[in-house]
Structure formats: C-alpha cells, structure tokens
Amino acid sequence: MQLQFLGAAETTSGSSYLLSFDQYQVLIDCGMFHGPEELKQRNYGDFPYSPREIDAVILTHAHIDHSGLLPKLVKRGFHGPIYATGVTADLCRVMLADSGHIQETEVERKNRKLRRQGKPLLAPIYTVEDALNTQGQFRRMVYDEEVTVLPGLRLRMRDAGHILGAAIVELWVTENGETSKFVFSGDLGGLDQPIIQDPTFIAEADYLIIESTYGTRLHEKRDERFTHLAQVVNDTLRRGGNLLIPSFAVGRTQDLLYALRVLQDRGDVPPLTVYVDSPLATAATEVYQSHAQVFDYETRSMLREGRSPFEFPGLHYTESVEESIALNSITGGVIIIAGSGMADAGRIKHHLKHNLWRREAGVLLVGYQAVGTLGRRLQDRAEEVRIHGERIRVWASVDTISGFSAHGDQEALMNWLKRFRHIGRVFVTHGEPEACHGFAELIRKELHVPVTVPKLDEVFVLRGKEVRSTWSADLKEVHVEENFAGVFQAAQGAEAELRASYGYANRRYKIKNTFFTAFNLGSARHFFEEAAALRLIERGAVKPGDLDLDSPELGEKLAELTGKRTWEVVREEVLRPAGLSQTAFYYLDHLPARAASGYTYTSSGAEVENVYAILREGLEPQLFSTAHDLHRFWLVLQAGELLNTENRTLLLERYAKPGGWYEVRGTAPGCRVFLAGKLTGGELAILLSNGEEGAESVYQQLLQLKGAPKWQ
C-alpha cells in the first residue's frame, strides 16, 4: 500500500492524497492550490498521475481547496465515481460552477492584455461547462452509511462538523488478506459551531491523516464571540454607519446569519437590516435550507419555532449587479455581508471603497486574513489602502472576531484526538509549516504515537506498523552547516528523493526559504543563453556560424542578432518552451517576495544584501529559478524536447564530468548554484543558495550519496 501527499503538505490548500493498493488507485480530495504564486502554478499543467487510471475519488467536502480540481480531473479523462455526501454534491454544483466562472473571467482579462501584446493566449483550467460536467459522476452518500467502493475498499463518511455536508472519511483497505483502517479527518469543525453537528468521534485508526489549520492556536469562545459581535454591531449602528463583513460564501456567511438571528431574538441588538451581497453565498444558503435534516438540534428547534436564521424580516439577498451597486448609496444603518473572505476580490471591495473613509462605518473581519490581502492590511491598521487603483483613507473602525472559523482550534482538535482508543500512526497535514510541526510535537508529547509531517509529493509505503518514506533515508542524513541558506533536492528521473530548505530568503522580513523560493542563478545563466543560441540555430533562425557558444559575449551577440534583449531571447527560446513557469528575470532591487535576496560580505566584513551585486553585475535583470524548475529543465533536456540530440550534445559537452555526469555551476556575490545530472540513469542533484557558506559542502555530500565519482 502506498500513500502520496499531493497537496496540503506543510500548507493549507490543494488537499489531495493518492492511495494505491492492489491494482487500484484512489484519490482522497482533489483540491485547488491558493496563496503564493508558486503553489498556484500547480493548478496548471499535468497531474502527477494519469486521471484515466484513477478508479474512484472520495471527497471530504465542497470547499474549493478540496474539490476545486475535480472538473479538470474529469476533463482530463477521469470517468469513475466521486463519493461525497448529498449536501457536498449539491454545494459542489454551485461552487465548482462559480470557480469555473472565476477562471473564465480571469483568463479573459489576462488574454485581453496578451492579445494587445501579440502574445499566445491562455486557456482557463476549466470552464463553467466543465464544472457542470462533473455532476453526473457524484455518488451521493449519507453519514454513517457503509459502501464497498472497490474490491478491498470499504468507505464510511462521518459528520466532520466543518461546513454542512463535510465528512471525516473512514476507509478499510484490504491487501494480501490484511485489512488496514485509514481515517482522513478532512477539515474538522469546532465543538460548538452554529447550525452543524459537532465532529463525530472515531475510535480506531491504523493511519490517521489529520488537519492542523489551527493546530497551535485558540479561538474566542462562543459566548464571548456573540457578545463581541453584538458590541460591534451596536457601536456601528450607534455611530450611524454601515457594518461591512467580508465573508466566505459557504459556512461562514451562514454562521453569521445564525448569530445575527440569535442576537436579535435575545434583544441584544435591535432589529437589523442585513444584505447578503454574494450570489454564491445566496446559492449556498439555498442548499443549506434544502438539507435541514443534517442541522444540529438547536437549529432544527429554531426552525420548528418558525425562527429561521436564513429568513428574517430585515434580511435581503441581492441578486443583480444593479442591486449591489444600489447599496453604495446607503450611508448608514445596514450590515453588508459579501465576498471574498479576505477582501481581495468580489463585491466587498466596492462596499469598502464607499465606506472605509467614513468615520461612522465599521469593518468586521471574521476569518483568517492571509499576508498580502486587503483584509490583512485593514487588520494591521493601514491608514490608507488601494482599491481598484484608487487610494482610500481608512477612517472606519476595524474589528476582528476569531471564533467564526469553520475549523476547530487546538483544544477542539486535541479533544477529538483523545477520543481514539487506537492510533497506529498520525500524518499531520493542512496547516502552515509552524502549525503542522507545532501540532505534530504536541500529539507526540500527549498521545505518545508516531507522528509524521509529510512533505509535498512525499510517498509512504505502508505495511502494518512499518511506514517507510520512499524518499531516500541516506539522503536525509546530509549534514548541513548552520550558516547555509538555500534549498537542495536529489532526484532519480522524475521522482524526488529528498527536498530540504534552510535559512531565510529575506533576513530583514524573516521570510523563510521554501522549496519554491527562486534563487539567483548567477553565472549559470550562461548555460541558458547557450541553450537559447542552440535552439535559434535548430529552428533555423540564425546561422550556426554566427554564434560562438564559447564566447564571453554570447549574450550580447544573441541580442544583436535577434534585435531583442538577451533576457527576452532566453525567455522566449528556453523558459517558455520548456515550461519553466517559476523561472524569470528580476532586477535585484525589485525582487518579488518569492525570490531570495543574496547575502554577501564587503572587504571590511560587513554583511550586505543584493546591492553589492548590483554594483558588480550592473543593472541588467538577473535570472532566478527554483529547484523545481531546474529539475524540470533537466528532464526536458533529457527527453530531447527542447533541443535535438546533436544540439544537446553541443550544449552539454563543455559541462561533462567523469562517469557520465554533467555539472553546471553558477556564482555571483551572495549566490551559489549547482546542478549535476546524468542523462542515462536519471541521477540528479540540485543546490541553490542565497549565501556563500555551507553550499559546497552540502553539494559534495549530495554527489557522494548519488554515487558520483570525485572530480574536484
């Protein structure tokens, strides 16, 4: 049996686990990645498996970070069943269509720009139509029902108390006559969430895969939360302003409506005028209302008494854009709930634009606000923000209530874990690195069970108590000096055997290096220029005699012959055709957050950042790439996809080392880069560093472990 972590590994998005047993392959969730660009890139391109060969998908719940790539999976040939609760299937109908619509509009906007620039156009990951096409493959389950999915695979879904329809997945997998039990927590709710039931307690798991979004934090308690909400509502209304609440459409919006209904019934707030200005939230609320049988006892009692949280006299659901725009003329006295939850998209931006500058207005943040979003800037008390290109002064008051999350906090997660009678092994997923590792440590300490925090793409072979990562154990023993900052990877063909990242990408802002950090390639850029030259020759765009690969002026010559800048030629001839989406040219004084700053020392021993390199290297943009992309580049070269064999030989012969190895080195102040690989066999070692110390030593160890002869 094998379990591969294709998402939600040291991150909260892209949930997807591939379980292989006998001759079968089953996916648990097929989520979309959010957040940093380098993660989002994983939404594009091919799946790391063949969709046609997947026998079934088991879906924990409808949130896009768990379901978002299902339409793409179906479009690429998956024709098996998708097991989910009936509520999840209904929510997916509206959420996946909405996601398809977002991608169509986003791509259309980008294409308008590309068309004007005469560049190739993009295609959406999937369309509304693709999203609707997945509906036929859903197999609707009810909680606690047990079904046989495949020979040797039984499934039961239990209420996860996260959003309506969310499930904890229990799987019994039989291989070679032995049965192992898997429990995938999916996203787990807290203990006293409105509307939905508390998470079901599970007794046994040989392998437990648990989320850790709030694994190291605690929420406000429900009573405090309601009191806090009443206070914010009353304060804003007393000032005569509007209260704006950016909110996720599914889960959070319904929880808020519930709370507002309860506060009104108790007389803690006056009768309210509330606008839900989000077609998705409206559609999701309708799905909620049609599945009242799975509500918790409290909410079912409210409904019996004729007190629906989703219908009260002052509650309006706006439909059209005109209705939404009309809200802009209301200067005070109403509550507006709209998406997106972090205020970086959707209708809430318009409402913020029309209210932030009013002293009487209020903004209430009820969910996690990621770094870089408008919601986060408001939370951090920015005095001025930019919305649709306009600068808006922030005079409105801004409040945060933390408990409205659909995720249980550390206490709720531990409480759920402690109800198990038997756990063989825990894998901690779905959390930022600090949360995953912090929570893993806590489980180890309190439950005394083996705990693993899997890396993205890591594969585990599971045989009873024996759990072995296929990532090489020797390679995990690489000794890394304390002052090393960078990443390294060892691979065999397309399979990564080890990945690790150390130190800071940016020391001033304490941004850590991750596997997807881009590093300056320094002089290794010449390798890319040579590849570009050979491709121009291969395409017949320039004559072989016009370019001398060994000339130090090759870059200038490329520019001269093509009438373009050298970096444009490299981008068009190498980066684009090889699909290196994480590789780009950046000016050293304008680095994006995902690129590492280089650190070096002056002759007097003072540490300096980038600046020094600018003086040395001039003002040309520098080539930055990730370990992921260098690995890809090597595979593309190996497959003969960028250059034919003859030109590839011309490119590589000057980098040849003993034993069939090739080595490319790059240096610049504050940058050390190594790539060593074989064409036959597929051995590969990559190291990228944004400092100067410790890099050579790690690289030599990687080479030794990969069996390369010494050539220094």
DSSP lists the bridge partners of residue 666 as 673
Q: CB under 5 A: which stretch of 57-65, 104-112, 232-240, 288-296 binds Zn ion?
A: 57-65
The CA–CA distances, whole Å, from 147 to 27, 144, 151, 164, 628 equal 16, 10, 11, 21, 40
Q: Which residues 161-200 are close enough to bind Zn ion by CB under 5 A? A: 187
The dihedral over CA atoms of 480, 478, 629, 456, expressed in degrees to the nearest 10, equals -100
Nearer to Zn ion, 82 or 651 (CB): 82
Nearer to Zn ion, 63 or 648 (CB): 63
Nearer to Zn ion, 59 or 521 (CB): 59
Q: CB under 5 A: which stretch of 55-63, 522-530, 638-646, 664-672 binds Zn ion?
A: 55-63
In angstroms, the CA 227 to CA 268 distance is 8
Q: In 3D, which of 619, 599, 605, 564 has the Cα closest to residue 669?
A: 599
* Residue 256 · residue 244 · CB < 8 Å: no
Q: CB under 5 A: which stretch of 58-66, 241-249, 307-315, 544-552 binds Zn ion?
A: 58-66
Least distance CB 196 / Zn ion (angstroms): 12
Local structure of residue 371 (DSSP, 8 states):
T
Least distance CB 37 / Zn ion (angstroms): 20
* Residue 499 · residue 627 · CB < 8 Å: yes
Least distance CB 389 / Zn ion (angstroms): 32
In angstroms, the CA 697 to CA 284 distance is 55
Nearer to Zn ion, 63 or 75 (CB): 63
Q: CB under 5 A: which stretch of 63-71, 346-354, 475-483, 667-675 binds Zn ion?
A: 63-71
Nearer to Zn ion, 14 or 71 (CB): 14
In angstroms, the CA 678 to CA 531 distance is 17
Nearer to Zn ion, 102 or 608 (CB): 102
Q: Is residue 399 a contact point for Zn ion (CB under 5 A)?
A: no
Q: CB under 5 A: which stretch of 59-67, 114-122, 171-179, 553-561 binds Zn ion?
A: 59-67
Least distance CB 407 / Zn ion (angstroms): 7
Least distance CB 698 / Zn ion (angstroms): 35
Secondary element (H or E) of residue 428? strand 422-429
Q: What are the φ/ψ torsions at residue 569 (nearest 5 degrees)?
A: -65, -45
Least distance CB 162 / Zn ion (angstroms): 6
Secondary element (H or E) of residue 85? strand 82-85
Least distance CB 408 / Zn ion (angstroms): 11
Nearer to Zn ion, 258 or 527 (CB): 258
Least distance CB 187 / Zn ion (angstroms): 4
Exposed / middle / buried, residue 279 (Cβ in 10 Å: 0-12, 13-18, 19+): buried
Nearer to Zn ion, 256 or 302 (CB): 256
Least distance CB 12 / Zn ion (angstroms): 6
Local structure of residue 457 (DSSP, 8 states):
T
Q: Is residue 255 a contact point for Zn ion (CB under 5 A)?
A: no
Report residue 315 as tokens: 């509650």
The CA–CA distances, whole Å, from 560 to 489, 523, 569 equal 37, 20, 11
Three-state SS across 648-697? Answer: HHHHHHHHECHHHEEEEEEEECCEEEEEEEECCCCEEEEEEECCCCCHHH
Nearer to Zn ion, 63 or 631 (CB): 63
Nearer to Zn ion, 427 or 661 (CB): 427
In angstroms, the CA 179 to CA 462 distance is 12
Least distance CB 341 / Zn ion (angstroms): 12
Least distance CB 62 / Zn ion (angstroms): 8
Least distance CB 32 / Zn ion (angstroms): 10
- Calculate the CA 84 to chain-centre distance: 22
Least distance CB 92 / Zn ion (angstroms): 13
Q: Is residue 63 a contact point for Zn ion (CB under 5 A)?
A: yes
Q: CB under 5 A: which stretch of 56-64, 98-106, 195-203, 297-305 binds Zn ion?
A: 56-64
Least distance CB 63 / Zn ion (angstroms): 3
Q: What does the per-residue mask of binding to Zn ion show for 64-93, with x meaning CB under 5 A?
A: -x----------------------------
In angstroms, the CA 674 to CA 488 distance is 9
Q: In 3D, which of 66, 77, 7 has the Cα closest to residue 41?
A: 7
Q: Which residues 343-372 are close enough to bind Zn ion by CB under 5 A? A: none
Least distance CB 430 / Zn ion (angstroms): 6
Tokens 């509550």 sit on residue: 335
Nearer to Zn ion, 158 or 499 (CB): 158
Nearer to Zn ion, 63 or 354 (CB): 63
In angstroms, the CA 454 to CA 10 distance is 7
Nearer to Zn ion, 66 or 672 (CB): 66
Q: CB under 5 A: which stretch of 60-68, 467-475, 597-605, 690-698 binds Zn ion?
A: 60-68
Nearer to Zn ion, 187 or 573 (CB): 187
Q: In 3D, which of 517, 481, 480, 515 has the Cα closest to residue 498?
A: 515
* Residue 196 · residue 416 · CB < 8 Å: no
Amino acid symbol at 272? L
Q: What does the per-residue mask of binding to Zn ion show for 647-666, with x meaning CB under 5 A?
A: --------------------
Nearer to Zn ion, 251 or 555 (CB): 251
Q: What does the per-residue mask of binding to Zn ion show for 536-575, with x meaning CB under 5 A?
A: ----------------------------------------
In angstroms, the CA 79 to CA 73 distance is 9
Please give the size of the binding site for Zn ion, defined by CB under 5 A.
Answer: 3
Q: What are the φ/ψ torsions at residue 326 (nearest 5 degrees)?
A: -60, -30
Q: How far apart are the first and last CA of the chain?
A: 42
In angstroms, the CA 225 to CA 207 distance is 35
Least distance CB 293 / Zn ion (angstroms): 21
In angstroms, the CA 268 to CA 237 distance is 13
- Calculate the CA 241 to chain-centre distance: 36
Q: CB under 5 A: which stretch of 62-70, 168-176, 292-300, 577-585 binds Zn ion?
A: 62-70
The CA–CA distances, whole Å, from 672 to 394, 460, 665 equal 45, 32, 8
Q: Is the dihedral of CA 584, 589, 592, 596 positive or negative?
A: positive
Nearer to Zn ion, 162 or 571 (CB): 162
Report residue 483 as tokens: 């002052």
Site of interaction with Zn ion (CB under 5 A): 63, 65, 187
